[in-house]
Chains A and B, each alone.
Chain A
Amino acid sequence: MTDEDQARALPELPRAHFSVPFLDIDKIIGDRETKIIICCGSGGVGKTTTSAAIALRAAEVGRKVVVLTIDPARRLAQSLGVGVLDNTPRPVPMIDTTAGGSLDAMMLDMKGTFDDVVIAHSTPEKAEAILQNQFYVALSSEFSGTQEYMAMEKLGQLHSEAEAHGTWDLIVVDTPPARSALDFLDAPEHLSSLLDGRFLRLLLPPARGPLRLMSAGFSMMSAVITKILGAQIINDVKTFVRAFEALFGGFRQRATATFQLLSSRHSTFMVVATPQHDALREAAYFVDRLTEEGMPISGMVINRVHTSALALSPERALALAEDLAGTSAALEIEALRRHANLMRLIAGETRQIERFASARPTVAQTQVQALPTDVTDFSALRRVGSLLADKD
């Protein structure tokens, strides 16, 4: 029997058959009207790597790119030259600039960004009072939405700088690992409504305007809060709120502006996932939510898809391993077992991807095969970039 006969005699193996559109990364980065690419998805799916790979590929086809990363793995950060968290975009050395592009990278310093906002929008005395306040310290370093909010704030700043000085023509944004699909879009609104909210207004005596009518109710409320939290907390909050008051309007305004920027035709979202049930379920939430909000989605990046060049079913591989049991062919047995595991994994992944695709057939997809090693250097990033852009 020849190889070909043998191959033909093998059973049909599970393999992805996609009628879904292809997510053409090269077309997107080649389009000069694309000015912002946002990579979102649940934690651990390779968002940072995807963002860095897209940014590098875009820079090497001639775009002037800045990539905003949130929490890169240390070695990836080092190879991008953003090992230090300092909020300043720095040129990435060693990229291929023959097409006239450039690449800057930065790592988001959440608290630093927040501090900058405070300093830029208040008097030195007020800024000092805010920066010292315990509530501000907690809010700026720990609030569950602050990272999302500050990523958007930073995006706004980078965009203004790009527009004003032409420093960049493409911003690639990696998003924080949101706890849920909603966090990322809701955090700015949530934060600004908190800071601008009724409750804070109530804490600020004397109440103005229509709120004065509530003040009887409020003194009851204030008494309750004081009883529970202690008078000192209330005083701290009041100091914080008073100092922060001037910033309220600005926060809301910028949150709205960023939202508009994200909805514009110059922006596009890519939802990143891996071919596992949980990650794809999260991705589905993202896709649905972005669609609901009228945000422009270019499609899905499915990372770490396993492949095999050997068309041998898991059942047959295990049968062959069984035939060898008790012989000295330990390596053969182990290789066959591993192959069987891999084929089962591939079958599971294919099933997950097909289920996703059948529920959302209009969402374009590109797949990146699982790489044998971690992506920590430039050549690996380039390889991810070409896998992203490759239709097969």
Chain B
Amino acid sequence: MTPRHTWHIVSGKGGTGKTTIACALACALATSGRRVLVCEVEGRQGISQLFDVPPLAGAEERRISRTPAGGAVYGLAIDAEDALIEYLDTFYHLSIAGKALDRFGAVDFATSIAPGLRDVLLTGKVYEAVRRKIKNRPNAYDAVVLDASPTGRIAQFLNVNAAVAGLAKAGPIRNQADSIMRLLRSTTTTVHLVTLLEEMPVTETEEAIAALRPTQIRLGSLIENMVTPTPLDRDQLEKAAAGSVILKVPRLTIKQNQALASEFAIEAARTLQEQQRLDRLAALGLPLVEIAFDHGGIDEGAIFAIAEQLIDQMSLETA
């Protein structure tokens, strides 16, 4: 059994828990003996905070977790300026010139004024990690998970070709962008979108899918995060939402039962709205993955629990 995809890209609107899902996915992929890298690109130090380990310094790939299944998860926080200096060093043996350029403000300039360039550098670093070879192993990592830009920018972020098209018509940057794009469009790369069953995240998910389709990058799963499952059917929920049920919990007073019923009416109405949004997500034609809301908060144990749910619902392996 091998991982079906070696490059997983996770996006989602801010606040949907995309970093948590990216980390959980890395844990899910890190089965016995496997090494999985999880990368972030937004400078938030979200990964180290989730695993409660010291911040990931520039260009450092450090083991941040051993999974219960016996794999290892490594973390990397990619910074565009470090990536540029590393790029110069790798391709041109120019680490000193790179540092000199940095002093002149050139690195800041290049990565700021040409954000396409910045995206190429960030995705380029992940590209390098995905393809890196080491002794006695086919790849340095069995899989790489990228905690990518939010849904509002994801298509732009991944469309590195388009980003540099106007800026570099030929030359090494262009070649690098072309190689990245080839890997992004290959069958071993996939993009997952994390959403809540709320209005804005669902709308942004729909928009992100429409924007991603033309890039020819394969879409993976839609991950509905923080779902509260209900054993009730639509009919029961509608009655509860309309306030037309009378609750009779023994040992609660009439007033308490009434307060419980009006609170439940709001909960039921919300659940109904969520179900409508779930229908909208289902209409997008991608596999849906449901992650239950964890009332205990998110720590390493909770990440492992989410990883279990991902393993159960996603086809991560291929024979």
Contact = CB atoms under 8 A, between A and B. Distances in A.
Interface of A: 1-3, 6, 42-45, 71, 73-74, 134-135, 137-139, 142-145, 177, 179-180, 190-191, 194, 197-200, 202, 221, 224-225, 227-230, 232-233, 236-237, 277, 279, 308-310, 312, 320, 323-324, 329-332, 334-336, 338-339, 341-342, 344-345, 348, 372-374
Contact of B104 (A42, A179, A202): A202
Contact of A324 (B15, B94, B97, B249): B249
A219 B106 CA distance: 14
A320 B259 CA distance: 15
A230 B105 contact: no
Contact of B248 (A1, A332, A342): A332
Nearest to B98: A224
B256 A3 contact: yes
A73 B200 contact: yes
Interface residues of B, number: 71
A157 B97 CA distance: 42
B270 A224 contact: no
Contact of B14 (A42, A180, A310): A42
Interface string B84-117: 0000100010100100110011101110111110
B115 A144 contact: yes
A138 B113 contact: yes
A134 B167 contact: yes
A377 B203 CA distance: 18
Contacts of A374: 198-200
Contacts of B230: 334
A372 B230 CA distance: 17
B252 interface: yes
B295 A339 contact: no
A45 to B, nearest CB: 8
Contacts of A177: 14
B170 interface: yes
A229 B113 contact: no
Interface in B1-52: 13-15, 42-44
Contacts of A135: 113-114, 167
B260 interface: yes
B269 A139 contact: no
A227 B92 contact: yes
B267 interface: yes
A320 B109 contact: no
Interface string B247-286: 1111111111001111110110110010000000000000
B199 A221 contact: no
A215 B67 CA distance: 55
A230 B15 contact: no
A228 B121 CA distance: 13
Contacts of A332: 247-249
A344 B249 contact: no
Given A194-B112, A232-B168, A43 B253 contact: no
Contacts of B297: 277, 348
Nearest to B149: A179
Contact of B295 (A74, A144, A198, A345): A345
A336 B110 CA distance: 57
B259 A309 contact: yes
B156 interface: yes
Interface of B: 13-15, 42-44, 88, 92, 94, 97, 100-101, 104-106, 108-110, 112-116, 118, 150, 152, 156, 166-174, 198-200, 203, 228, 230-232, 236, 240, 245, 247-256, 259-264, 266-267, 269-270, 273, 293, 295, 297
B115 A372 contact: no
Given A6-B256, A230-B173, 15 more contacts: A44-B15, A45-B15, A73-B199, A135-B167, A142-B156, A194-B109, A229-B171, A309-B262, A309-B263, A330-B232, A334-B230, A334-B231, A335-B240, A335-B263, A372-B266
A74 B170 CA distance: 40
A228 B168 contact: no
Contacts of B236: 330-331
Contacts of B262: 309
Nearest to A71: B152
Nearest to A341: B295
A386 B251 CA distance: 37
Contacts of B256: 3, 6, 310, 312
Nearest to B17: A278
A179 B43 contact: yes
30 contacts: A1-B253, A2-B253, A6-B253, A42-B14, A73-B199, A73-B203, A134-B167, A135-B114, A138-B167, A177-B14, A199-B104, A202-B104, A227-B92, A228-B171, A228-B172, A229-B172, A230-B170, A230-B172, A233-B168, A277-B297, A312-B256, A320-B252, A324-B250, A329-B249, A330-B231, A331-B240, A331-B247, A335-B260, A336-B249, A339-B264
Contact of B109 (A142, A179, A180, A200): A200
Contacts of A338: 228, 263-264, 267
Contacts of B200: 44, 73, 374
B264 to A, nearest CB: 4
B203 A74 contact: yes
A74 B199 CA distance: 10
A138 B42 contact: no
